[in-house]
A = this chain, B = another copy of it.
Amino acid sequence: MPQYKVPMRDMRFLLNEVFDYASHYKTLPNGEEATPDMVEAILSECARLCENTIAPLYQSGDEEGCKLEDGKVSTPKGFKAAYDEYVAGGWQGLSHPVEYGGQGLPMSLGLFKQEMLGTANWSFAMYPGLSLGAMNTIMLHGTDEQKNTFLTPLTEGTWAGTMCLTEPQCGTDLGQVKTRAVPDGNGGYKITGTKIFISSGDHDLTENVVHIVLARLPDAPPGTKGISLFIVPKYLPGKIGEDNGVSVGALEKKMGIKASATCVMNFDDATGFLIGPENEGLECMFTFMNSARIGTAMQGVCHAELSFQGALPYAKERRSMRALGGKQEPDKNADAIIHHGDVRRMLLTQKAIAEGGRAMLYFTAQYADQMIAGILEGDKKKQEYWDGQLGFLTPILKGFLTEKGLDCANLGMQVFGGHGYIREHGMEQISRDARISTLYEGTTGIQALDLLGRKVLLMTRGKCVREFSQKLVDFGTRNMTNSTLRPYAWKLLKIAAQWNYLTTRIMLTAAKNRDVVSTASADFLMYSGYAMMAYFWALMAAKAQEKIATGGEQPKEFYEAKLATAEFYFEHMLPQAKGHADSMLKPTKVMMQLKPEHFSFDYE
């Protein structure tokens, strides 16, 4: 069982050396208090909570799972006490307004916190994580009264929140939503319908649960333009314990994240409150979609990291056979398996994804901070500019990092051999928990369509690729004469050219044949992920080389490991982008030609 240790050295490297968060925070309206000392204190304190209180509940939470009895959901042993400690520390409101009980710090700090919580115990982290979605929605679209009533207890963490979108007949295609909302004549609405896959739909961690629900008004137009957003609390304010027509229909049995309560929620004439304008529920819901996707993208990093933390010590202890290059530990009866090349391949893949993914998240978190700054400053243009920037990054992060995170969780099991399949070692749980990440918050296929169809083609006609790839070009031209970095510089220039070429080619094809958006999207997404991560590994290699050269910060091993991992990424992982580049330009008919009725496994 991995004993989670927060990778503080790596986090400090990104914060202080690669991205200069101190300067970044000085530009933010809510960044004044986020001094380096304060950031260090917050992260260290959070690390202690995660390592000592939350991580120890990871395996027991999976074994026990949640229970539904007498209509009430209970979380596994220890969760309530841990959550109380979390609330007592003021962690829920870290990045939310002081006037509603929060600490008013930048959003990025909340993301760093969420990474620690999520690596320690993803199921646990989902309870406060889902509340964030409800908090953000109310903060942005709620009336002052709604904020006072709901946002304060949510920010304090004494209440929790959910997002109720999915229904049995629809997940992605929310135009099919059927849940109804009828005005009750008192300024409220009666909500009736069934929602499924509601994470944290009910539990025993808080005295109330505030649901944000998509529903249709009686006169609403069909499809996506007829959906409104409602606040529907389990208990109405001031009436804690009194039935409001909100009940748990069932608790789903899942492959993993078993300590997270996934509920079927029934709303039966439940009283709710309209939030935001009528029939604009989807727009309101999607305001924070990019931030929510960063939170899910993070799961890839969390599970790559946790699985790596389990696999590495095992690879150093377990002895089997001799290294092919010659005995490494001649006084032992066999060499530790870390001396075998193929085991190193797996460990380095995990390290490359965990650290490369973390760099992508820390970079993107600055954009999220800027988007929030636009909101806080009432600068709509600034908000939209940064949200647009985020809009290109988040499907790549969500799609690529969760797919690669799942691969890494599987590699961690693989390092353990047959022992990886046995529950007590805890490695298989990481794979099961990681498996949800490519499915929820939009499957990988949906991220791919959003990226290629909307962000790249429809909204920017390739400009987002041109802009981001310029960073690769800049790095390349800047470092062509640096002997360590030259190979990366050269590869980034090639990748930048190819990325734009592929985008243009698809754009030209799509003008005549829309199918290409769908047939090329998965390859385009994965290619973009490899390209983007290459840039961040180059950036980290450059910083590591600089630190080694100046003999500055310590330890040297940290920087040397960075250089070695960067080299591994460029030589052994980036080549996988080739297959995607090749595949995405193939004629659409190759995928589309087989008629559905001829697509079978059972021909007569």
A interface residue numbers (CB < 8 A to B) = 5, 7, 9-10, 166, 170-173, 176, 197, 252-256, 305, 308-309, 312, 316, 319-321, 323-326, 333-334, 336, 338-348, 351, 354, 406, 410, 413-414, 417-418, 420-424, 428, 431-432, 435-436, 438-440, 443-445, 448-449, 453, 513-515, 517-522, 554-555, 557-558, 560-561, 564-565, 567-568, 571-572, 575-580, 582-583, 586-588, 590-604
Contact B600 A561 (CB under 8 A): yes
Residue of B whose beta carbon sits closest to that of A340: B518
Contact A591 B7 (CB under 8 A): no
Q: How far is the CA of A546 from the CA of B293 in the complex (A)?
A: 50
Complex A-B: 19 CB contacts under 8 Å: A9-B602, A173-B321, A173-B334, A255-B428, A255-B431, A312-B599, A325-B588, A326-B514, A336-B596, A341-B515, A342-B518, A342-B522, A348-B591, A564-B593, A567-B590, A575-B579, A575-B583, A578-B578, A578-B579
Contact B579 A518 (CB under 8 A): no
Contact B590 A583 (CB under 8 A): no
Q: How far is the CA of A412 from the CA of B278 in the complex (A)?
A: 38
Question: How many identical subunits does the complex contain?
Answer: 2
- Determine how close the nearest CB of chain B comes to the CB of A604; give it in whole angstroms: 6
Contact A9 B521 (CB under 8 A): no
- Determine how close the nearest CB of chain B comes to the CB of A214; give it in whole angstroms: 16
Leading 7 A-B pairs by shortest Cβ distance: A341-B518, A341-B519, A255-B428, A575-B582, A557-B598, A576-B579, A575-B579
Residue of B whose beta carbon sits closest to that of A522: B342
- Determine how close the nearest CB of chain B comes to the CB of A576; give it in whole angstroms: 4
Q: How far is the CA of A345 from the CA of B587 in the complex (A)?
A: 13
Cross-chain contact of A324 among B312, B518, B580 (Cβ < 8 A)? B518
- Determine how close the nearest CB of chain B comes to the CB of A322; give it in whole angstroms: 9
- Determine how close the nearest CB of chain B comes to the CB of A561; give it in whole angstroms: 5
Cross-chain contact of A413 among B173, B334, B435, B571 (Cβ < 8 A)? B435
Knowing A515-B325, A604-B555, say if A252 contacts B571 (CB, 8 Å): no
Residues in B whose Cβ lies below 8 Å from that of A583: 571-572, 575-576
- Determine how close the nearest CB of chain B comes to the CB of A545; give it in whole angstroms: 15
Residues in B whose Cβ lies below 8 Å from that of A436: 421
Residues in B whose Cβ lies below 8 Å from that of A561: 594, 598-600, 603
Residue of B whose beta carbon sits closest to that of A557: B598
Cross-chain contact of A418 among B197, B577, B593 (Cβ < 8 A)? B197
Residues in B whose Cβ lies below 8 Å from that of A320: 170-173
Contact A325 B567 (CB under 8 A): no
Residues in B whose Cβ lies below 8 Å from that of A514: 324-326
Residues in B whose Cβ lies below 8 Å from that of A413: 435, 439
Residues in B whose Cβ lies below 8 Å from that of A560: 594, 598
Cross-chain contact of A341 among B588, B595, B597 (Cβ < 8 A)? B588
Contact B345 A591 (CB under 8 A): yes
Q: How far is the CA of A565 from the CA of B197 in the complex (A)?
A: 35
Contact B421 A312 (CB under 8 A): no
- Determine how close the nearest CB of chain B comes to the CB of A15; give it in whole angstroms: 15
Known: A342-B519, A420-B439, A560-B598. 15 other contacts (CB 8 A): A171-B417, A253-B423, A340-B445, A341-B517, A341-B521, A341-B588, A341-B591, A342-B522, A344-B591, A344-B592, A413-B435, A418-B440, A561-B599, A575-B582, A576-B576
Residues in B whose Cβ lies below 8 Å from that of A513: 325
Q: How far is the CA of A354 from the CA of B595 in the complex (A)?
A: 19
Q: How far is the CA of A604 from the CA of B218 in the complex (A)?
A: 61
Contact B578 A582 (CB under 8 A): yes
Knowing A449-B342, A575-B579, say if A599 contacts B173 (CB, 8 Å): no
Contact A417 B435 (CB under 8 A): no
Contact A414 B439 (CB under 8 A): yes
- Determine how close the nearest CB of chain B comes to the CB of A422; give it in whole angstroms: 5
Residues in B whose Cβ lies below 8 Å from that of A431: 255, 435
Contact B305 A417 (CB under 8 A): no
Residues in B whose Cβ lies below 8 Å from that of A600: 312, 557, 561
Q: How far is the CA of A568 from the CA of B312 in the complex (A)?
A: 38
- Determine how close the nearest CB of chain B comes to the CB of A308; give it in whole angstroms: 6
- Determine how close the nearest CB of chain B comes to the CB of A56; give it in whole angstroms: 18
Q: How far is the CA of A404 from the CA of B577 in the complex (A)?
A: 18
Q: How far is the CA of A130 from the CA of B305 in the complex (A)?
A: 37
Contact A334 B176 (CB under 8 A): yes
Contact A555 B603 (CB under 8 A): yes
- Determine how close the nearest CB of chain B comes to the CB of A328; give it in whole angstroms: 9
- Determine how close the nearest CB of chain B comes to the CB of A170; give it in whole angstroms: 7
Q: How far is the CA of A424 from the CA of B603 in the complex (A)?
A: 27
Cross-chain contact of A579 among B343, B354, B577 (Cβ < 8 A)? B577
Residues in B whose Cβ lies below 8 Å from that of A565: 594
Q: How far is the CA of A69 from the CA of B509 in the complex (A)?
A: 65
Contact A253 B338 (CB under 8 A): no
Q: How far is the CA of A533 from the CA of B591 in the complex (A)?
A: 19
Contact B324 A453 (CB under 8 A): yes
Knowing A173-B321, A443-B414, say if A254 contacts B305 (CB, 8 Å): no
Contact B324 A517 (CB under 8 A): yes
Q: How far is the CA of A351 from the CA of B166 in the complex (A)?
A: 30
Residue of B whose beta carbon sits closest to that of A347: B599
Q: How far is the CA of A414 from the CA of B439 in the complex (A)?
A: 7
Which of A7, A554, A599 gathers most chain B CB within 10 Å?
Answer: A599
- Determine how close the nearest CB of chain B comes to the CB of A62; give it in whole angstroms: 11
Residues in B whose Cβ lies below 8 Å from that of A578: 575, 578-579, 582
